Structure 1
Amino acid sequence: MNVSLRKSARRTAAAALTLATAVSLAACSSDDSDNSGSSPASSSATDSFPVSVPTKFGDVEIKEQPTKVVALGWGDAEIATELGVQPVGATDWLGFGGEGLSPWATATYDKAPEILDTQTVDYEKIAKLDPDLILDVRDSGDGDTNKRLSEIAPTVSVPEDADGFTTTWDKQVEMISTALGEKAKGDKLVSQVNDRITEVKDAHPQWADKSATVLAKTSVEWGAYVKGDARADLVSALGFKPNAEISKLVKPGEFYVSLSAENLTKADSDVVIGFPIGDVGSIADDAQWKTLTAVKDGHAIVTDKELSNAISLGTPAAMLHALDLLTPKLEDATK
């Protein structure tokens, strides 16, 4: 992914990964958290400590239940709150504002966290929060960043082979719930999403015979999301086959394939799902978009900001919301 797209995938998330029912995840609401006294980020953990979390940089041992958590990775803070733990510092990758939680999160903060920048890691500000655990589970996987964060507090970074924001949503929940001593709650969140995916997939067996492309347009170029990206992974989980032509262009470690105007036709599939990234206007009005056979035949979807953000965020609550929005659109596109 080029520099412009990398920055788009990192921060301008605000409207940019503006790429992503109102479903109750009551078991993960803020009622489960205990934020009294000097432990603003803690819950009554159900697991015993110490715990160990395998990461790209080795196993991270967490000796005691964390009481001051800083959550830096994409969606890390929202997952922590769904598990009953309220971070003292958090990032807002998609620019939701306020406390940084998405509109679909069922948990809230008793005390708003310090919102940290997503463009530059402010180590001094993080250190001042005096964390006893740092979550950086869905992020770039940069070694220097991990080294400096680990000097401040135990840092749970990306899993092996998950650089460049490619930590899968279920692995992210698993790692965070383990680190926080809430493995059972994490398993329940994963099961809720997987059960809903299975329900939708089983109701549409015909999708298994169809290919799909998750296509994005930025101010720079067109591109297709592939395995390792929350958008493409969700569509595949629903039964759709990946686009064979796009799959041939995938480079190791990348979740995005750049497409020139000349080879945009490679994106043609039985279903094409278009994501506008940033201020690019309406994809539906784009002349190149209209050249695709799937578009001409009525087998294409143009996502709006709500669906884009929900899929992109990839937290359990956001995934459930995205499924409710995406399913009827896929039904229409596959008639």
Structure 2
Amino acid sequence: MTPTLSRRAMLSISFATLAGIAVAGCSDDGSGSDVGDAAAGHAEPAAFPVTIDHKFGSTTVTQAPTRIAAVGIGDADVLLSLGLTPVLVPVWKGSTDDGIGVWADPSVHGADPVALADATTKFVVETVAAADPDLIIAVNNAIDESTYQQLSAIAPTLLHAADQTDWVLPWQEVTTRIGTAVGLPAQAKQEVQGIESLIARTRDENPQFAGKTAALVIRWSDGNLRAFSPSAARAQLLTQLGFETPPALKDRFENKLNVEISAENYDLLECDYLLFDNYEKARGEMESQPAFTNLNVVRSGGVISLDPIVSDAVSMPNPLTIPFVLEEFVAKINETAVARR
């Protein structure tokens, strides 16, 4: 048994249970023959042919794909949530080196997908070609036109919509877009509805979040912090749970994914809860800066440390990561000194 399979075996019970709770009622059957049929290329009636517009034109899929390559970050999770195991998955610089997050391990069936290295920067197109895909999903990625032409020469390639910005994509639309391309539009809609219901239930079960302010930050390699826009992937879930953007930050994003916060401007981060991406990696440096440690949110115990796995998951909201992140967010927020007062 390989180390990856061993990890999947250990996590299968806990994460499969979590995923089952999250999407209960979303589909007739999330396992067994339905999954086998989907993986074999079966699709919903009248699903093909389908043409989907995107930022570089349109892509037509004429029949159910059987070898799907996922190039977009989190796109593999969407496929796995639909019962489809891709032949290739993207690798990001984070908590895993095989492109499969722990939240997705129980959903992988059959052979392990090929890992596409450096998927968020400069991946090797030849690696995609070698996987021999009949459909390439590159929705959540910053694909330029030259790369698109190379990918579409290999197989029909799906990108995000023309009116959307790289890395700032609504997870609901990503899910339904991918579901349509693989011939499972109704199932994709059910996945979205199930996760939206889970978010709504979590918000209703935690009315103390309403009206509170929260921000999510990361320490960049240049030493400065970046605070994420409420429309960015990392912060979308905070907004959906009822949190508001700190007033001092609200007008600074200007349609940008994030805004740089240097030490002299740390006071812009004053809020009820400050969620810090990969905080342990930055803790020593941050706690050596009085400008940070003297913030009210820090002194009151409102800083929430996100470990590498949660930090990865929150950066790519989708039907598999959201249940995992919700559980972590709610537990960590409610365990803070601020929440216990």
Check conservation: 2:200, 2:241, Cα contact below 8 A: yes
What residue number does 1:304 align with?
Answer: 307
Paired residues of 2:216 and 2:235 also in contact (CA < 8 A): yes
State yes or no: 1:22 paired with 2:21: no
Q: Give the drift of 1:205.
A: 2.7
Look up the match of 2:4: none
Q: C-alpha separation between the residues in 2 aligned to 1:213 and 1:273?
A: 6
Q: Which has the higher contact order (CA 8 A, sep 6+)?
A: 1
Specify the alignment match of 1:145 in structure 2: 147
**Cα distance in structure 2, aligned partners of 1:245 and 1:298:** 20
Question: Matched residue of 1:219: which SS?
Answer: coil
Q: What percent of counterpart residues are identical?
A: 28
Q: Residues 228 and 108 (structure 1 numbering): CA distance in 2 closer, same or farther, change over 3 Å?
A: same
Query: How many residues are matched?
Result: 310
Q: 2:42 aligns with which of 41, 44, 54?
A: 44
User: Could you tell me whether the CA contact under 8 Å between 2:215 and 2:269 is conserved in 1?
Assistant: yes
Q: Secondary structure at the match of 2:195?
A: helix
SS of the aligned residue for 1:247 comes to: coil
TM-score by length of 2: 0.82
| Gap change, CA 1:97 and 1:296, over 3 Å in 2 | closer
Offset from partner CA, 1:201-251 (integer Å, 9 cap, x none): 112333222221112223321110113322211000000111232222213
Compute the TM-score of the two structures, normalised by the length of structure 1. 0.83
After superposition, the C-alpha distances for 1:315-334 in whole angstroms (9 at most, x for unaligned) are 31211011111112222343
What is the rounded CA distance, in whole Å, between the counterparts of 2:36 and 2:130 in structure 1?
23
Stretches of structure 1 that go unaligned for 5 or more consecutive residues are 1-20
CA distance in 2, matches of 1:303, 1:132: 37
User: Distance between the aligned counterparts of 1:63 and 1:263, measured in 2?
Assistant: 54
CA distance 1:199–1:293, shift in 2 (3 Å): same
* Post-superposition offset of 1:264: 1.4
Cα drift, residue 160 of structure 1: 2.7
In structure 1, the residue matched to 2:68 is 69
1:230 is matched by which residue type in structure 2? A
Q: Residues of 2 paired with 1:319 and 1:29: CA distance?
A: 20
SS at match of 2:18: coil
Preserved CA contact (<8 Å) 2:293 2:299: yes
Q: 1:55 to 1:162 in 2, by over 3 A?
A: same
Q: How does 1:256-335 map to 2 (within 5 A)?
A: 256-276=258-278, 279-282=281-284, 285-287=287-289, 288-331=291-334, 332=336, 333-334=338-339, 335=341
C-alpha contact 1:218 1:280 (8 A) present in aligned 2:
no
SS of equivalent to 1:137: coil
Q: Which residue of 2 aligns with 1:16?
A: none
**Contact residue 280 and residue 305 of structure 2 kept, 8 A:** no
Structure 1 residues 63 and 243 mapped into 2: Cα distance closer, same or farther (>3 Å)? same
Looking at structure 2, the residues matched to 179 and 102 of structure 1 have their Cα atoms a distance apart, in angstroms, of: 23
Q: Give distance in 2, aligned partners of 1:329 and 1:196.
A: 18
CA RMSD of aligned residues (A): 2.5
Paired with 1:212 and 1:142, the residues of 2 have a C-alpha distance of 34
- Name the residue aligned to 2:210: 208
Q: Any idea what SS the aligned residue of 1:121 has? A: coil
Within 5 Å, give how 1:90-169 maps onto structure 2: 90-93=89-92, 95=94, 97=96, 100-105=99-104, 106-117=106-117, 118=119, 119-169=121-171
Deviates more, 1:114-123 or 1:263-272: 114-123
Q: Secondary structure at the match of 2:166?
A: coil
* 5+ residue gaps, structure 2: 1-16
